Amino acid sequence: MAKHHVSATVNGDGVEFLCATDQTLLEVLRDELHLNGTKEGCGTGDCGACSVMLDGRLVCSCLVLGVEAEGRRIETIEGMAVGQELHVLQRKFLEHAALQCGICTPGILIAARALLARNPDPTEAEVRYWLAGNLCRCTGYHKIVEAVQDAAREMRGA
Amino acid sequence: MIVASGLKYQARELKIVGTRPLRPDGVDKVTGRARYGADISLPGQLIGKVLRSPHAHARIKSIDTSAAAALPGVKAVISRDDFADMAEEYAAAGELTINFRDVTRNMMAREKVLYDGHPVAAVAATSEAIARAALKLIKVDYEILPHVIDVIAALRPDAPLLHEEQYTEGVNPRPARPSNLAKRLEFARGNVEAGFAAADTIVEREFTTKPVHQGYIEPQACLASYSEDGQAELWTSTQGHFVFRAQCAKLLQMEISKIRVTPTEIGGGFGGKNNIYNEPLAIALSRKSHRPVKMVMTREEVFRATGPTSGGHVKVRLGATRDGRITAATAELSFQAGAFPGSSVAPASMCAFTRYDLENVRVIGNDVTVNRPKVAAYRAPGAPIAAFAVESAIDEMAKKLGIAPIEFRLINAAREGTQTYYGPKLGKIGYIETLEAARAHPHYRAPLGPGHGRGIATGFWFNIGNETTAALNINEDGTATLIMGTIDVAGGSRAAMAMMVAEELGIPFDRVRPHIGDTSSLGFNFITAGSRGTFAGGMACVVAARDAIEKLRDRVARIREVPLEAVLWKDGHAVPAEGSARQFAPMSLAEIAGQAGKTGGPIAGHAELNVQGAGPGFGAHIVDVEVDRQTGSIKILRYTAVQDVGRAIHPAYVEGQLQGGVVQGIGWALNEEYVYDADGILANPGFLDYRIPVASDLPFIDTVIVEVANPNHPYGVRGCGEVPIIAPLAAIANAVENALGIRFYDLPMAPPKVLQAIDEAAAAASKA
Query: In this predicted model, what pLDDT tens digit does every residue of B624-670 receive, in sequence order?
Result: 999 999 999 999 999 999 999 999 999 999 999 999 999 999 999 99
Q: Hey, what amino acid is at A49? A: A
The answer to whether residue B581 is domain-embedded is: yes
Using a CB–CB cutoff of 8 Å, tell me whether A147 touches chain B.
no
Percent of chain B at pLDDT above 90?
A: 97
Report yes or no: A46 at the B interface, CB cutoff 8 Å.
Answer: yes
Cα separation, B385 vs B335, in Å, equals 9
Per-residue confidence band for B4, with pLDDT thresholds at 50, 70 and 90: low
Cβ-defined contact of B698 to A141 (cutoff 8 Å): yes
Burial environment of residue B624 by CB neighbours within 10 A (0 to 12, 13 to 18, 19 or more): buried
* In chain A, where the domains are located: 4-79, 88-156
- Min Cα–Cα distance to chain B from A28, Å: 13
H or E element at residue B493 = helix B493-505
Print the SS3 string covering B710-721.
Answer: CCCCCCCCCCCC
Within a domain: B579: yes
Give the distance from residue B603's alpha carbon to the nearest chain A alpha carbon, in angstroms. Answer: 32
Residues facing B619 on adjacent strands:
B459, B643
**Chain B environment of A41 (Cβ under 8 Å):** 217-219, 267, 299, 687
The answer as to whether B142 is a domain residue is no
Query: B515 has which bridge partners?
Result: B483
| Preceding peptide of B748 cis, ω within 30° | yes
A23 touches chain B (CB under 8 A): no
**Of all residues in chain B, what percent carry a pLDDT higher than 70?**
99
Q: Which residues of A touch B30 (CB under 8 A)?
A: 80, 86, 90, 93-94, 99, 102, 105-106, 109
Between chain A and chain B, the number of residue pairs with CB atoms below 8 A apart is 183
Contacts of A38 (CB under 8 A, 6+ apart): A26, A29, A30, A49, A50, A51, A52, A61, A76, A77, A106, A107, B32
Task: Pick B29's closest partner by Cβ from A78, A99, A135.
Answer: A99
Across the interface, of B32, B490, B655, the residue whose CB is closest to A37 is B32
Residue B241 lies in a domain: no
Buried b (16+ CB within 10 A) or exposed e, B230-253: eebbbbbbbbbbbbbbbbbbbbbe
CA of B206 vs chain A CAs: smallest distance (Å): 30
For residue B300, the chain A residue with the least C-alpha distance is: A42
Nearest by CB to residue B686, choosing from A44, A80, A97, is: A44
Please name the residue of chain A whose CA is at the shortest distance from the CA of residue B651: A97
Q: How far apart are CA B269 and CA B238, in angstroms?
A: 8
**Which residues fall within 8 angstroms of residue B560, CB to CB, at 6 or more apart?**
B567, B582, B584, B585, B587
| CB-based contact, A149 to chain B, within 8 Å | no
pLDDT tens across B154-186, in order? 999 999 999 999 999 999 999 999 999 999 999
Q: Does A131 touch chain B (CB under 8 A)?
A: yes
Nearest CA to B538 out of B488, B478, B572, B473 is that of B488
What CATH number did the domain enclosing B605 receive? 3.30.365.10
Radius of gyration of chain B (CA): 27
Query: Which residue range forms the structural domain that includes residue B501?
Result: 26-34+464-611
Q: Where are any strands of DSSP class E within B190-325?
A: 201-209, 221-226, 232-236, 259-263, 293-296, 312-320
Residues B361/B376, Cβ–Cβ less than 8 Å: no
Residues of B in contact with A133 (CB under 8 A): 694
Q: If you compute the radius of gyration of chain A from its CA atoms, what whole number of angstroms results?
A: 16
For residue B744, the number of C-alpha atoms closer than 13 Å in the C-beta half-sphere is 32
How much is the pTM? 0.98
Each residue's pLDDT tens digit, B353-365: 999 999 999 999 9
Structural domain includes residue B378: no
Distance from CA of A70 to the nearest CA of B (A): 23
Q: Which residues face B578 on adjacent strands?
A: none
Which residues share a beta bridge with B484?
Answer: B470, B516
Q: Quote the pLDDT of residue B93.
A: 77
Residue B532: inside a domain, yes or no? yes
Looking at the complex, does the CB of residue A104 fall below 8 Å from at least one CB of chain B?
A: yes
User: In chain A, which residues have their Cβ closer than 8 Å to the Cβ of B509?
Assistant: none
Integer Cα distance of B587 and B581 in angstroms: 18
The highest-level CATH class for domain A88-156 is: mainly alpha
Helices and strands (DSSP H and E) totals, chain A: 5, 5
Rounded alpha-carbon distances, angstroms, from residue B755 to A5, B278, B396, B749: 54, 42, 22, 10
> Which chain B residues contact residue A77 at CB under 8 A?
31-32
Decide if B470 is inside a domain: yes
CA gap B483, B494 in Å, rounded: 10
Residue at B500 is within a domain: yes
Q: Residue B263: which of B531, B34, B36, B471 has the closest Cα? A: B36
A92 interfacial to chain B (CB closer than 8 Å): no
Collapsing DSSP to helix, strand or coil, B382 comes out as coil
First-to-last CA distance in chain B? 65
- Nearby residues of B451 by Cβ (< 8 Å), 6 or more positions away: B626, B627, B629, B739
Instruction: For domain A4-79, give the CATH superfamily.
Output: Beta-grasp domain (3.10.20.30)
ipTM: 0.98
The answer to whether residues B387 and B722 touch, using CB atoms and an 8 Å cutoff, is no
pLDDT tens readout for residues B560-615 = 999 999 999 999 999 999 888 889 999 999 999 999 999 999 999 999 999 999 99
Q: Does residue B511 carry a pLDDT above 50?
A: yes
